[in-house]
Chain A
């Protein structure tokens, strides 16, 4: 069941658009904010609330890469794998992160602390290579800085 807070936030979005269905992306964002990811149950609950089919909600949920259809760790690392970062050292960071966290790209650490995901250009190519952890952007990431950065996230 959608919580009262979730419903209120979704209602606020519905009021801004001509018909309910148009707020499905906002609804997914809201539910993900509260639950960390979008489960099959969440898809069904959103569908029921917006009066559309679960398949319709899922077609949208699976299209956008920052809607997570699988559980993620407490912190999500988005590593830029686009061109300027590629030139400036992304491949090394990629390997180092996988080794340090003992996971592959797309994986979550056993202690559920981090999920590692590739991401397109983060819009700070003049400070490549770049990565984001949750809402924090890190620029000019030297391999030697990685440990200190990761330490901040428990």
Chain B
């Protein structure tokens, strides 16, 4: 089984420096592209590989790039931004790529920038990733010194500068238009779309924002081709995927596996099954803002389409397991506390609604809830759902809540009947 993204990552060894990366075939994709591939051909290659964005939404990366204005007339400079904000609770996959093989990301970014002819690029990195920050800073410098960044890269006439920006907190910085505002020195509130960032992004110029894992796939697609990339996968979405499992399993962790492995294989084989004494009760398949799935869904494939068909989202592909000893009301309260705290306050339903949801859940958890509270929660899942808010934070927050109310409703009701948490 091939693991192109993590083959050269060994958590107990330091990350590859430039020389070592080159020895593993690093920067050959960039050489190939610089020796005569057109930006349009690179866009087409990535589009046909069916690489889907690994930041959560799963949009075809090549198609996303193709919406960038090209040619002499296009506004400049254009920007390419790597979204390394990774703050979705339960998500720890980009960290592995950032700390394990920074040059793989940098090469992916240079290729992506070439495809859209961007001359300035940023890594937007969350504050807490200090080790990654040091490595990326050092690796960017190595890439400049080797002529992979800067003027006339490998004689192609293409010019690219790259900077590291470290954030100062807030989950909203990961939302791509809020990220642009943060990079412009503003509060991380989202922007209205349209115009899309491809037309008017950072400082009003054409901009692409891609996730770390998405960008890391690009050199491998260039080196090995479309058929190879598609062949890595068990499903129609191309490539491998970094999957993670956390919670009360025997061996929590993150693994690169063919796109489309089943939830059962992840939990039972890779994560070693549940810890002794607890059973599986529910799973958030792709981070805090995805709908619960339960034991009946164990055999679904973890790809974009199959998880959606089961009523949830693949999201970031890092799942959080809820065990039989953990109270679903307390669990969902913890999630809603996060979302209420991280709401940017820009639109009313989210700013007002999420704290109310959090309070309702807290009173239920304390045994002070009333029957009507459950109906109020139901109502909020509608009021804060898709289409009613400015960005996807609030609808994302409602996903685990609405599915908890669906699958674990009796747990909510027991808190009211017994006037206390039955798990205490």
Chain A residues engaging chain B, CB cutoff 8 angstroms = 16-18, 21-26, 28-29, 59-60, 63-67, 78, 81-84, 86-88, 119-128, 132, 135, 137
Contact = CB atoms under 8 A, between A and B. Distances in A.
Interface string B51-89: 000000000000000000000000000000000001111
Interface string B115-131: 00000000000111110
B185 interface: yes
A82 B331 CA distance: 10
A22 to B, nearest CB: 4
Contacts of A60: 185-187
28 contacts: A18-B203, A21-B185, A22-B184, A29-B168, A60-B186, A60-B187, A63-B344, A64-B188, A65-B169, A66-B169, A67-B168, A67-B169, A83-B90, A83-B338, A84-B247, A84-B320, A87-B248, A87-B331, A88-B247, A119-B128, A120-B169, A120-B171, A121-B87, A121-B88, A121-B90, A123-B92, A128-B246, A128-B252
Contact of B244 (A66, A122, A126): A126
A127 B249 CA distance: 11
A108 B326 CA distance: 32
Given A18-B203, A23-B185, A125-B252, A84 B89 contact: yes
Contacts of B254: 126
A22 B334 contact: no
Contacts of A24: 185
Contacts of B252: 84, 125-128
B187 A84 contact: no
A14 to B, nearest CB: 10
A72 B327 CA distance: 35
Contacts of B420: none
Is the interface on chain B under 10, 10 to 19, 20 to 34, or 35 or more residues?
35 or more
B92 A126 contact: yes
B170 interface: yes
B202 to A, nearest CB: 10
Contacts of B318: 125
B169 A64 contact: yes
A25 B185 contact: yes
A137 B86 CA distance: 16
Q: B130, B253, B334 — which one has the most chain A CB atoms within 10 A of its CB?
A: B334
B89 A66 contact: no
Given A64-B168, A83-B338, A16 B163 contact: yes
B342 interface: yes
Nearest to A84: B246
